[in-house]
Each structure stands twice: as C-alpha cells, then as structure tokens.
C-alpha cells in the first residue's frame, strides 16, 4: 500500500512534524510511504526521516518566495485557518497538481487547511484522511463552518484524543465520515530508562504563555525551599524566555532552576531526571508527557483539555492537578520529591503504561482504521466502530468538561490574538 502524508513544512520543528515523521517511519516498515511538504525553507529537515520514507517539497521558499503567484492570497486554503497568510495561489496550484497526479492509495492531511485541499481535490478512488492535531474547540466558528462543509468529502477524520473525537461527532455532523481517535506515537527509547535517583525535575516545550512555565517556577520555589538540592530544568525556546529568567532571579532560584534551551531529541535529557512536569492551560495531546513516561518518569501535569487525562492515571503513573493551581502543583511535586519509593514505583508504572503509545500498537491501530475505511469505501458500507466511543464519552462529567474545554480554547485564541 502507498501512503502519502501532506504536511505544512517538514523542514521545521514542532509536534505535528515529529508525530508525522514517527508514524510515517513506522508505517514504512511494511508500506511505501512519502511525506509531501507544502513548504520548504532550508536544505535539510531538522528531523531525520526514516530511510525508507521519501520526502519532497512543493514550494521551495529559498527560491520561490518572490514568485508572482506567491504574493496572491490562497483561494483553496481556508482564510480562517491560522496559517493562511503563509499560503498563496502558488501553493494552491502546487498542492492541486500533486493531488491531481496522486498515485497513492491513501492520502493523509496533517492540519485543517491541508485537509480541506484533500477533501476538495484528492481523487475519489483514494482514501482521504484528515488528521486533527489541535482540537475542534480550538478552531474559530468561522473555521469550523468551513471544515464542516469540506470534511463531508473526507473518508476519515482522526483526532489525537477520544474527547476530541466525541466533539467532532457531536458538533460537526459528518454523515458517512469515520471519526476515530488515533494517538501520537513515540519511538521506543534507545537509552535505559531513568532510575528515579536523580534530583531533577524536567519540563520541555515552547516557552510561550499557554505552557505556564512561570507557574511551574513559582511552584518549584516551594520544592527548592524544602529540598534545596533538587533542580528544575526547562528545555525549549520562545518569547517567554526573558520573563522567565527575570522570575528566576526575582525568586532567588538561580541555583535551582535552569533554562536549558532547545534539545532535539529529548530522550537523553529525560533519562537524567526523576520527575517530569507539564503545566499547560491547554494541551491537545501532550507529546512531552508521553516522551517522559516512555523514559520511565512519572509526570505531574495540569488536568487541562484535552490530552493529559487520557495519558496519565492520577496517583498511579503520575499526578493530575487543577489548571493554574500553583499550590496544588507544588504539593504534587513535593509528594514525589519527598517519597523515593513512590517516585520510583510510579516511574516504573509510567514506563509500562506508556507502551500503548509505542509505534507498534499505534501503527496497528492506524492500519486497522485504514483497512476498515477502505473496505467501507469499496463496499459502500459504514466502517465498523463509527460511534464506538460515543456512549463511553457522553457519560457523567462530560458536559462539565466540554464547558471547560470551550473556555480554555477561547482563552488560547485570546492569547494568540494578543501575541
């Protein structure tokens, strides 16, 4: 089977790029796989694709940034999509030509605007899959309207959490489209797992407001006061770095909290720690949570929409605390810092529980979704399991969680507008 992934820019850095490379590489063990990058801005990608995955760009910005068509706004790529300003009549043309000549059995889009291209332009005989790496509630009403119209032409929509899959079924009305959660995968670690003895807490991700690293630093000040030999290391880069550095200095934590810069890959850094922390207001999935758990770390995370609660089992392989609650975060960290046996036991459990995000089970799930959808497409029958998770996720507590998800998504959009 030939599978083609369409991605925004495979030459950059980001969670969607990482998980696409991971899934493509795992699928390449048994299939013919290519990654088609709408844009390219450098000679070599930051991440190395699997040797059996073919990578090719459609528009090379190093040579074509001044192309006349690239100065005209895109017409196919939806204007309400976050990256519309990076697309143009040139990208419309190149993506259209790529889809028109597509020789793959399956084409997979990796962001809403590209999913719209696939829905509108991919050949009918090709299985058309739209991946969602954010969440439905994260999108503006205008974008949701555009997606509702276009996505009805897709065969499959995948989300990274069960909660978001339920939201798509409940709010989008996509008759005949198979909607199912497919989590991100993390490759099997090459290094031995952490043993829980290092006096180090690690967090990783972009240094932006929604990640709430300031909250983490403030919470860790309580840890440092009780256990001054423990450190917090924050990996990543971004606009919040100057403010975070000032906060560290103001709290007198220069011997305990360190901004480490970006590190790719992170596996060697996770292995040097004993606890991981994630403090976002909003997290569509939680790739760093899975990465840390796959390296044997219990994770203390905010119970934010949508991902952490579907990854972490509170009190078993990590801790979930209310969003924005500094004292609850500090208490959960102190609980693990101060109890060596519990910390190590939870780390071992995290390593075991996170195996469900390994390439083998995730690829098996992806292949099942594709096989069932192709059978349904060829026979005209709906793929089995279409409403499989609705009853489970529509039960008690989900109305309240939906309200929280909507509020958090609105806050995130407000943060983006203010940036």
Please name which of 262, 256, 154 lies closest in space to residue 201, comparing C-alpha atoms: 256
Contact 413, 183 (CB under 8 A): no
pLDDT 10s digits, 197-256: 999 999 999 999 999 999 999 999 999 999 999 999 999 999 999 999 999 999 999 999
Q: How far apart are CA 335 and CA 11, in angstroms?
A: 41
pLDDT 10s digits, 255-303: 999 999 988 889 999 999 999 999 999 999 999 999 999 999 999 999 9
For the chain, 419 residues long, give each residue's pLDDT as a single digit of tens: 999 999 999 999 888 998 999 999 999 999 999 999 999 999 999 889 999 999 999 999 999 999 999 999 999 999 999 999 999 999 999 999 999 999 999 999 999 999 999 999 999 999 999 999 999 999 999 999 999 999 999 999 999 999 999 999 999 999 999 999 999 998 889 999 999 999 999 999 999 999 999 999 999 999 999 999 999 999 999 999 999 999 999 999 999 999 999 888 899 999 999 999 999 999 999 999 999 999 999 999 999 988 999 999 999 999 999 999 999 999 999 999 999 999 999 999 999 999 999 999 999 999 999 999 999 998 876 655 454 433 333 333 333 344 444 444 444 444 344 43
Contact 373, 155 (CB under 8 A): yes
Which residues, 6 or more positions from 333, have their beta carbon under 8 angstroms from its beta carbon? 201, 219, 220, 222, 223, 275, 277, 300
pTM of the model: 0.84
Write down the pLDDT at residue 396: 33
Between the alpha carbon of residue 401 and those of residues 303, 319, 395, the distances in Å are 11, 18, 11
Query: How long, in residues, is the chain?
Result: 419
Residue-range domains of the chain with CATH: 2-185+365-412 (3.40.50.2000), 207-356 (3.40.50.2000)
Write down the pLDDT at residue 382: 62
User: At 352, which helix (H) or strand (E)?
Assistant: helix 340-353
Contact 129, 20 (CB under 8 A): no
Q: How far apart are CA 126 and CA 106, in angstroms?
A: 6
Neighbouring C-alpha atoms within 13 Å toward the C-beta of 397:
3
Terminal alpha carbon distance of the chain: 43
Q: Which long-range contacts (CB under 8 A, 24 or more apart) does 345-350 make?
A: 346/298, 346/316, 346/317, 346/318, 347/193, 347/194, 347/196, 347/274, 347/296, 347/297, 347/298, 348/296, 349/298, 349/316, 349/317, 350/292, 350/293, 350/296, 350/297, 350/298, 350/299, 350/317, 350/318
Between the alpha carbon of residue 17 and those of residues 10, 45, 254, the distances in Å are 6, 10, 34
Q: How far apart are CA 130 and CA 155, in angstroms?
A: 8
CA angle 163, 361, 394 (to 5 degrees): 20
Residue 16 sits at φ, ψ, to 5 deg, of -65, -40
Sheet of 127-131, strands arranged across: 53-60, 32-40, 2-7, 106-109, 127-131, 156-159, 178-181
Between the alpha carbon of residue 44 and those of residues 237, 322, 377, the distances in Å are 21, 41, 37
Contact 156, 130 (CB under 8 A): yes
Q: Where do we find the tokens 């089992």?
A: 313
For the chain, the C-alpha Rg in angstroms (whole number) is: 22
Q: How far apart are CA 119 and CA 147, in angstroms?
A: 10
Dihedral over alpha carbons 28, 30, 31, 35 (to 10 degrees): -10
Contact 12, 40 (CB under 8 A): no
Between the alpha carbon of residue 318 and those of residues 162, 250, 325, 342, 353, the distances in Å are 20, 30, 17, 10, 11
The DSSP call for residue 319 is: E
């Amino acid at each position: 089977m030939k599978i083609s992934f369409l991605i925004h820019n495979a030459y950059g850095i980001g969670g969607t790029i990482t998980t696409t490379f991971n899934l493509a590489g795992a699928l390449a063990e048994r299939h013919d796989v290519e990654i088609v990058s709408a844009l390219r801005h450098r000679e070599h990608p930051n991440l190395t694709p699997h040797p059996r995955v073919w990578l090719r760009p459609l528009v090379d910005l190093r040579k074509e940034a001044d192309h006349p068509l690239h100065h005209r706004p895109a017409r196919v790529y939806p204007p309400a999509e976050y990256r519309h300003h990076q697309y143009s009549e040139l990208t419309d043309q190149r993506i259209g030509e790529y889809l028109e000549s597509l020789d793959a059995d399956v084409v997979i889009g990796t962001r809403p605007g590209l999913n719209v291209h696939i829905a509108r332009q991919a050949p009918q005989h090709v299985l058309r899959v739209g991946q969602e790496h954010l969440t439905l509630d994260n999108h503006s009403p205008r974008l949701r309207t555009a997606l509702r119209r276009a996505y009805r032409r897709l065969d499959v929509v995948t989300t990274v959490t069960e909660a978001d899959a339920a939201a798509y079924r409940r709010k989008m009305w996509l008759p005949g489209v198979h909607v199912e959660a497919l989590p991100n995968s993390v490759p099997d670690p090459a290094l031995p797992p952490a043993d829980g003895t290092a006096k180090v807490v690690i967090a990783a991700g972009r240094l932006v407001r929604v990640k709430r690293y300031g909250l983490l630093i403030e919470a860790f000040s309580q840890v440092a006061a009780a256990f001054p030999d423990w450190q917090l290391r924050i990996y990543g880069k971004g606009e919040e770095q100057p403010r975070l550095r000032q906060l560290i200095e103001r709290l007198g934590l220069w011997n305990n909290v360190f901004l480490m810069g970006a590190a790719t890959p992170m596996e060697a850094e996770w292995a040097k720690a004993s606890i991981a922390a994630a403090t976002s207001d909003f997290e569509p999935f939680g790739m760093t949570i899975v990465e840390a758990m796959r390296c044997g770390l219990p994770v203390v995370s905010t119970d934010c929409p949508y991902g952490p609660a579907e990854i972490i089992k509170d009190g078993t392989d990590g801790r979930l605390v209310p969003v924005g609650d500094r004292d609850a975060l500090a208490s959960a960290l102190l609980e693990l810092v101060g109890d060596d046996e519990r910390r190590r036991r939870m780390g071992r459990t995290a390593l075991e529980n996170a195996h469900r995000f390994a390439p083998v089970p995730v690829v098996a799930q992806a292949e099942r979704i594709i096989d069932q959808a192709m059978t349904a497409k060829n026979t005209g029958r709906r793929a089995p399991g279409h409403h499989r998770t609705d009853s489970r996720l529509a039960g008690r507590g989900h109305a309240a969680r939906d309200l929280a998800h909507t509020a958090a998504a609105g806050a995130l959009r407000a943060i983006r507008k203010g940036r």
